[in-house]
């Protein structure tokens, strides 16, 4: 019960339903895939493909921070950003479960 500007009391009730569909995408990355960084700062100056020496050794371990989802036409349709970087495994396959609402 509420009194609004001296006009008397009134009751307000409402009910709303909205169905939210959840989609789960399973992305499996083989142990030999994506074991490099796409960060342009790792490229040798003036080159579009040569990577600096420190980034090619066995001590360099990239992390996953973002996964892009593409359709059949190679158009980017969704981007998944992780709360913290995930190390890329060089020994085992890794499966990421991406959940989003439609």
- On the question of pLDDT at 28 being above 70, the answer is yes
Query: Mean pLDDT throughout 10-32?
Result: 89
pLDDT at position 94, please?
Answer: 93
Encoding tokens for residue 14?
A: 């409402």
Is the pTM value of this prediction over 0.85?
no
Q: Are 50 and 40 in contact (CB under 8 A)?
A: no
Query: Mean pLDDT throughout 66-87?
Result: 93
Concatenate the DSSP letters of all residues of 16-55 into one string: ------EEEEEEEE-TTSS-S---GGGBPTT-SSPBPGGG
- On the question of pLDDT at 2 being above 70, the answer is no
Average pLDDT, the chain: 83
pLDDT at position 7, please?
Answer: 63
């Amino acid at each position: 019960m509420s009194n609004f500007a001296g006009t008397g009391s009134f009751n307000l009730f409402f009910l709303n339903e909205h169905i939210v569909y959840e989609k789960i995408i399973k992305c499996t990355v083989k142990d030999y895939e994506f074991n490099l960084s796409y960060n342009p700062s790792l490229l040798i100056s003036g080159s579009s493909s040569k990577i600096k020496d420190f980034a090619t050794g066995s001590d360099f371990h990239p992390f996953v921070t973002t996964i892009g989802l593409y359709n059949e036409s190679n158009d980017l349709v969704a981007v998944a950003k992780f709360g913290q970087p995930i190390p890329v495994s060089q020994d085992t396959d890794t499966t990421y479960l991406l959940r989003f609402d439609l």
